[in-house]
Structure 1
Amino acid sequence: MTGPCTTFVFKREQGVDFQADVYLPSEDQLKRAGHQKAPVLVYFHGGGLCTGNRDWNDLVPTWLFFEAVENGIAIISLDYTLLGPQTAHDAIQDAKDGLRFIHDDLNHKLEQHSSIRIDPDRIAVSGSSAGGTLAYYSGIYSPFPLKAVIGLYAGAGDLLTDWYLQEKKEPFVPGVPLLTDDKPFISILHAPRDATPPTVRTDHDGDHGPRSKLLFYLLQTGSLVDTLSGTRGASEVLRRLPSKFERERLVCDYKDVKKVIPSLCVTEKFPPTYLVHGDADTLVHLEESRNMYHTLRKKGVEVHLWEMEGGGHGCDTDGGWASSPGSKDGELSRQREHGLKKVLPWLLKHL
C-alpha cells in the first residue's frame, strides 16, 4: 500500500475494540489531485459475514485502491461484527458507527499523526463479497448521504431465492462436501449474546475452526435469513412460499427481517452504484447483482453493472482471476483489465 497505515478505535463493545485502518495519500498525491482534503473510500472485507478481517491482503481490490490513493483518495478499512451469535443488525450498527466516526471524529484524531485531513462531505463505500453486503447496508442506513457505492460480487443482492432458503441435500459449491455434524455451528449461533463478545476478525490463512465453514452450514441448512435477522424459523416459513412476490410481501410485515434484506430497503436516495460481478461465480450468483441493478433502476438510482465474462468469485483479484474459467482466455483477460480500469474514473466523477 502507498503510504503508512494508521489504526484508530472507533468504538468498543463487550471489551472488543472495533478498529479502522486509515491509508492516507501523501501531500504530493493530494496536491496533484487538486484536493485540499482527501475524499474517502471506505472498504468492508469479505468472508461470508462469518470470517475475515480488515487487513491489507491479497483479497482486497489493490487494482482500485493503489490508483485511488494516487488520485488523492484516502482508503479506510473498517471492522464489523461477524455472524454468530450476533446478527446483521449488529453489523449494520457497526457500519453506521464507523461512518459516523469518519465523518465526525477522524480529522481530530489525525491531528496527532498527519497533516492530511479527510473531507467528511465526500465519502463513498465499497466492499467485496460479504463486504458488498455491508456496502449495501451503508448505502441504506448511513447517518449522512454517501457519494457512491461500489459492490464487487456483492452478496445479499437477492436473499429471498431458493439458493438461500432451501435446504441442500447434495453438494452445492464445487469442491465443498456436505457438512454432517451441526454441533460446532450451533454452538456458535446459539451462544448467549450477553456473554459472548462479538467476533470482528479471523485469520484468512489456515483452518480457523467451524467459522471457516459457517457460511456453508447456513447455505446448506437454508437458514442464512434466520441468522442475519435474528428471527428463528423465518427461513422455514419463507421457503414454503412458492413465489418471490409472496416472500417479499410476507417479509414486509416483519421489520427485523426486512431490515437485513437490502433489495427491499433501498429507496430513491440510495447513492450512485457501480457493481462488478463475474458470470461464472458459483458462490454469490450473478443474479444477485442483476436483481440489485434492476431494483435500483426502478428507484431511479444511477447504477452500472459490469458482468465480467469468465469471472469466478473474487475475479477482480489476481488469485481469484487465476482460478476463474476465463483466465486461460487471453481476450477475456484483456477485457477484464480494460473493465477494471473504468471503475476509478467513475468513482472520481462522483467523489
Structure 2
Amino acid sequence: MSAPRLPPPEDYVTPFTDHVYAVKHGVELRLRVWPSASPDPAPWVLWSHGGAWLFGLHEDPTAWVVPGFHARGYHVVSFTYRYAPIANIEDILTDGRDAHAWCVAHLPNLLRVDIERYVLAGDSAGGHLATTLAQLVSPPPRAVLSDHGLVDLADAHYDTLRFSGSYTGEFGPEEIEAAIQDRDYTRAFASVPEETRAKWPLGEVRRAFHAPRVQYGRREQLQADVKTALAERGAWVAAVLHPERFSSSEQLKAYARKWSPLHMLDAAPSYPPTFFIHGEADNIVPTAQSRAFAAKLRARGVAVGGHYEPGEGHCYDEKFTSPNVEGYTRCVVACLDFIGAHVART
C-alpha cells in the first residue's frame, strides 16, 4: 500500500530519461531511467512495480528505491507492462523480458554501465515478476529483491481472500463484467494510478511524478472498478491466469504453479542471491510465501537475506521516505548491504 500522500516533485530524483521499449498492439510500453552520478561504470537495478497486475505507475517506484540505490551508485530503471485482465501472466512476463532485453541492448549507449552487474527487484506483483524473470533472462542478475513478492500463484490463500475496494464508478454490472472478459489487446492498459494517487487532481499526480502522460479518465476508472470487482470476488490472482482457458480447477492450479517462482525453482539449475522484505502482518501476500522461497534457496546453498517486520502489513516499506524514518536502517540498509555484497565487481 502506498503512503496516502503525494510527494513534492523534488522527492523524485532527477535527472531521468523516458523511453519506449516496445509497442504491442498499439500500446506503448515505457521505462524510466534514473542515472547514477558515479563516474565509473555502474551497476543497475531493473524495478517492476506492484499493483495486482491491474494498476500502477512505473514512474512511482517504492519511495526508498531510487534514492537508496542512487546513494550506493546504481542506475535505476523502472518499467511498465500490460495489465490484466486483458493481458495474462505470460504476456506480462514477456513484457518484462523485453524490458530487460532493451536495457541490455541500449543502456550502454545511454550510461556508463556495467551491464552484467545488475539486480532484479520489485514489490508485490512486481516482486513476482522480479523473482520469475530471474529464472528467464540472460545474463542472470547478480541479486534479486523480493519486496512483499507474490511467489506462489497457487497458494490456497487466494481461494478465499476477498477485500473491498474503494472505487464506485459510473459503470453498471454488465459493463464491468464485459471489461473483465475483454481480451482485446488494443485496449490493454499499461498505466493506471492506484487509489491513493487517483484521489488527487490529475495535474498534481502528473507534476509529482514528472509524468505528463498519466491519464485518469473514464477508461481508467472502468479499469479501477474492474480491480474492485475482482478483489471483492477474490479473483484478482485468477484474473491474470485467464481461467476461462481451463476446463477444471486442477488445470488452473497446475498453470498457476507453472508460473510461480516458488515452484519453478524446483527445475531451475541455479538462482541468484535473494533478499526478502516482508511485513509479518501482510494479509495480501502471506509472509509464509517469502519464508518458503527462502528455505528452498537455502537448501540449495543460495545466499539469502531478509527483513520481516512484526506488526506491519503489505508493502509497509513505502513509509521509508527518508533515512530518518524509524526502521530504515534495519530494513533498507540491510537490504542494500546484502545486495551490494553480491553485486560487487569480481
Task: Provide TM-score, normalisation by structure 2.
Answer: 0.77
Would the aligned equivalents of 2:163 and 2:231 in 1 still touch at CA under 8 Å?
A: no
Q: Which residue of 2 aligns with 1:10?
A: 21
Letter in 1 for 2:57: N
Q: Does 1:162 align with 2:156?
A: yes
Percent identity, aligned pairs only, is 22
Runs (5+) with no aligned partner, structure 2: 1-11, 200-219
CA deviations over 1:11-45 (Å, ceiling 9, x no partner): 1111121111000012xxx14xxxx2121011111
| Distance (whole Å) between structure 2 residues aligned to residue 289 and residue 235 of structure 1 | 30
Structure-2 change in CA distance of 1:235 and 1:318 (3 Å): farther
Q: Describe the SS at the equivalent of 2:29.
A: strand
Q: In the TM superposition, what are the counterparts of 1:1-351 in structure 2 within 5 Å?
A: 1-26=12-37, 30-31=38-39, 36-56=40-60, 60-108=61-109, 110=110, 116-155=111-150, 157-166=151-160, 172-173=162-163, 183-194=174-185, 196-204=186-194, 205-206=197-198, 208-224=220-236, 226-232=238-244, 234=246, 237-238=249-250, 251=254, 256-266=255-265, 267-318=268-319, 334-335=326-327, 337-351=329-343
CA deviations over 1:43-87 (Å, ceiling 9, x no partner): 11111110111013xxx3333431321222000000111112110
Structure-2 change in CA distance of 1:175 and 1:52 (3 Å): closer
Offset at residue 9 of structure 1 (A): 1.1
Q: Describe the SS at the equivalent of 1:72.
A: coil
Would the aligned equivalents of 1:226 and 1:232 in 2 still touch at CA under 8 Å?
A: no
Q: Describe the SS at the equivalent of 2:73.
A: coil
Letter in 2 for 1:37: P
Letter in 1 for 2:184: R
| Distance (whole Å) between structure 2 residues aligned to residue 45 and residue 70 of structure 1 | 20
Q: Which residue of 1 aligns with 2:4?
A: none
Letter in 2 for 1:123: Y
Across the aligned residues of Structure 1 and Structure 2, the Cα RMSD in angstroms comes to: 3.1
Offset at residue 264 of structure 1 (A): 1.4
Would the aligned equivalents of 2:21 and 2:99 in 1 still touch at CA under 8 Å?
A: yes
| Distance (whole Å) between structure 2 residues aligned to residue 219 and residue 42 of structure 1 | 28
Would the aligned equivalents of 1:104 and 1:120 in 2 still touch at CA under 8 Å?
A: no
- For CA contacts below 8 A with separation 6 or more, give which structure has more relative contact order: 2
Letter in 2 for 1:203: P
| Distance (whole Å) between structure 2 residues aligned to residue 175 and residue 13 of structure 1 | 30
| Distance (whole Å) between structure 2 residues aligned to residue 38 and residue 125 of structure 1 | 15
